[in-house]
Each structure stands twice: as structure tokens, then as C-alpha cells.
Amino acid sequence: MKSIVVLISGNGSNLQSIIDAIEANQINGKIVGVVSDQADAYGLTRADNAEIETRVHAYDGYSSRADYDTDLQKIIEEFNPDLIVLAGFMRILSDFIVERFSGAMVNIHPSLLPKYKGLNTHQRAIDSGDIEHGVSVHFVTPTLDDGPVIIQAKVPVFEDDSAGELAARVQEQERKIYPLVVKWFCENRLHMENGVATLDKTIIPETGYASE
């Protein structure tokens, strides 16, 4: 069974979807630790409720990202995980930590990558007049929001949408696709080799897995 560490900064709805899928025996894995950079993240309460160990690793007191990430790496290594899941973790990671966990770290990003890397993705999709928007799960590589996409889910953008309404529509999809990716990884079906994502030894297209 695979050991999983989840990194969060906030609400933890993606964390919850993975907890729920594990409790429903849909994922052959165990969340061994949840790490948050925010002491008041609601996701920590979700982890407590599921009797998962938690660590708060706040940036306060650090003067450089490298120092912070050195200690973050130590915290993660103490859990000895097979997979690190970034679930709304709102810090950019140093290259060394990304490289340390290469092929074993995934992220969920609320846009149809390669569109809208970075922040405020929902408002940017609205401002661009997009008629569809969505979410991507991808392997993490040193360049921000740039690693190979594993799966995407699309939602429509309606004319009078607010960023909040669009975010809620996207998050509904997030809760479906992230547990699926974790399940695949835990079944040894999902890999990243030479910067390419594969599922069942088949290269996943740039727009992510698509069922036939």
C-alpha cells in the first residue's frame, strides 16, 4: 500500500475527496501526513477528524524560500511517502525539492493548462471571454504549473458568471479527478519518465487522459 503526504494551505476540499475515496476503499493507499503552511487551514481539522497526523510548517521566521523548503523536505521525508499530493498548497517550491520528489509529486491547478498558470485563474478565464474553463492535475516539475498533464476536466463559463461561481463549478470537478489520479498512482499505473506522463505504459496526451 502506498503512503501519501498531502500539502495544503486552506479549506482542504481536495484532501477530503481523497480521504473519502480511501475510506470507501477506492484507493489502495494511506495518507500518513498532512502538512500545512497555514496554522488555521480548515484542512487540518479535516485531517484530525480522519485521525491523520498533521504538521504546520509556517513561513514566519524564515528569511529565504530555500531554508523553508529545506525544512519542508525534512518534514516530508520523515513520513517516507511514495506520493506527495499538492492540494491547494499555495507556495512555489524550490527546484531542489521538486527534483527530490520527481515523479512522485502531483498538483491540481484550476485551469486548462497550459492556459492561466499562476493565480486568479477563474477571473482571467472570464476576462478573456473563454466559453470553457477547467482544472488540470499534473506531475510537478521545476517550472511553475508546467509539468506533464495527467487529466483535465472542463466546465462551461456562463456570461454572468462571477469568479466565485466559476470556481465552485471547477471545484466540483476537482473532487472527481484528483482521487482518480491518486488511485492510478497507488496501483502503479501512473508514471513520469523523461518528462512525459504515462498511464498503463501509454503516453498521456498533452491535454491529459481522455476516456474513449
Residues classed as catalytic: 109
Alpha carbon distance 49, 135 (integer Å): 27
Q: Which of 131, 39, 127, 140 is nearest to 86 (CA)?
A: 140
Q: What is the DSSP-derived secondary structure letter of residue 57?
A: -
Distance separating alpha carbons of residues 93 and 106, to the nearest angstrom: 12
Residue 38 CB, shortest distance to ligand GAR, in Å, is: 10
| Distance of alpha carbon 153 from alpha carbon 182, whole angstroms | 16
CA distance 94 to 35: 17
CB closer to ligand GAR, 46 vs 202: 46
Nearer to ligand GAR, 36 or 209 (CB): 36
Q: How far apart are the first and last CA of the chain?
A: 29
Count of positions on this chain that bind ligand GAR (CB under 6 A): 15
171 sits near ligand GAR (criterion: CB under 6 A): yes
d(CA 209, CA 18): 19
Residue 27 is a binding residue for ligand GAR (CB under 6 A): no
Residue 208 is a binding residue for ligand GAR (CB under 6 A): no
Cell of 78: 520523515
Type of residue numbered 96 = F
Within 172-201, which residues bind ligand GAR (CB under 6 A)?
174
Are β-strands 105-109 and 2-8 bridged in parallel, bridged antiparallel, or unpaired? unpaired
Residue 152 engages ligand GAR in binding (rule: CB under 6 A): no
The answer to the question of residue 11 lying near ligand GAR (CB under 6 A) is: yes
Residue 189 CB, nearest approach to ligand GAR (Å): 23
Could you tell me the CA-to-CA distances from 136 to 41, 175, 178 in Å, in that order?
23, 12, 9
User: Site for ligand GAR (CB under 6 A): which residue of 4, 5, 6, 13?
Assistant: 13
Q: By CB under 6 A, tell whether 36 contacts ligand GAR.
A: no
- Could you say which residues in the range 75-94 bind ligand GAR, by CB under 6 A? 87-88
From 18-26, 57-65, 103-111, 203-211, give the range in contact with ligand GAR by CB under 6 A.
Answer: 103-111
Q: Report in angstroms how near the CB of residue 140 gets to ligand GAR at its nearest.
A: 11
Give CA 92 to chain center in angstroms. Answer: 13
Which range in 48-56, 73-81, 107-115, 191-199 contacts ligand GAR by CB under 6 A?
107-115
Residues that bind ligand GAR (CB under 6 A): 8, 10-14, 43, 87-88, 108-110, 135, 171, 174
